[in-house]
Amino acid sequence: MLAAMSNDRNEQAAALGIRDMAFWYDPSQAGAPVVDIGSFQVAAGEQVLVRAASGGGKSTLLQLIAGVLEPSRGVIEIGGKSIHALTGSARDRFRGGSIGMVFQTFQLLDGFSARENVEVALLMGGVAESEHALRAGELLTKLGLDRVDVPVEELSVGQQQRVAVARAVACKPALVLADEPTASLDVENGNRAMDVIQSACAEIGAALLCVSHDPAMAERFTRQVDLNSLRSEAMAKGGAR
């Protein structure tokens, strides 16, 4: 009984849990799936690097975790809750409050200020509107951005990255997904960006799952996973199916 309760707590503590998950863009197509994972877990607050070559399925994996794509089979849980069991606006609300995302190209809203970009994330995460302006401004300032009310297109690339990070952590998600977050930056700005991403996640206790093919990322993560090894393990257990 105590062992069962302990296992339940461990499951609840996991920021990400994947079981027997595979994805084909065309399920009728023969051959190996684009992503095939037998078992993969990221603990609460853990920071993990997933490596794979370009075109190796990294971005597809993040879209599956975020609920943008539907797996062909299997289960993906965020904080112990299956994101694919939710539909429509319920999934959108869950994603907004539980998952932060840092994109390679930032995907900020042009014409909106840095503060307003973060406020949109707070709105999607269900935070009370009365808290938006103050909370967004404080977070941006904390991340080293003092020009919070200028349009994002007037900011430098490094400053835009800070806005992207602020947006990702604004709702204090259980999990932050970072898709090649330094690919569009030079080495100096890339290092600064990763410092901000990792420290911001650590401060709020969010797990970080970063996907990249950049070898320089390796020294930043104590846990590193090769996506091909996860695929190999899954195929060894059950084949391509």
Read off the pTM.
0.87
Question: What domains lie within the chain, and their CATH numbers?
Answer: 43-56+86-238 (3.40.50.300)
Q: Which amino acid is at 53?
A: A
Q: Specify the pLDDT at position 69.
A: 96
Which helix or strand (DSSP H or E) is residue 131 part of?
Answer: helix 129-142
The candidate with the shortest Cα–Cα distance to 161, out of 186, 134, 138, is: 186
pLDDT band, very low/low/confident/very high, at 4 (cuts 50, 70, 90): very low
List, for residues 111-124, the tens digit of each pLDDT value: 999 999 999 999 98
Which band of pLDDT confidence, cut at 50, 70 and 90, is reported for residue 30? low
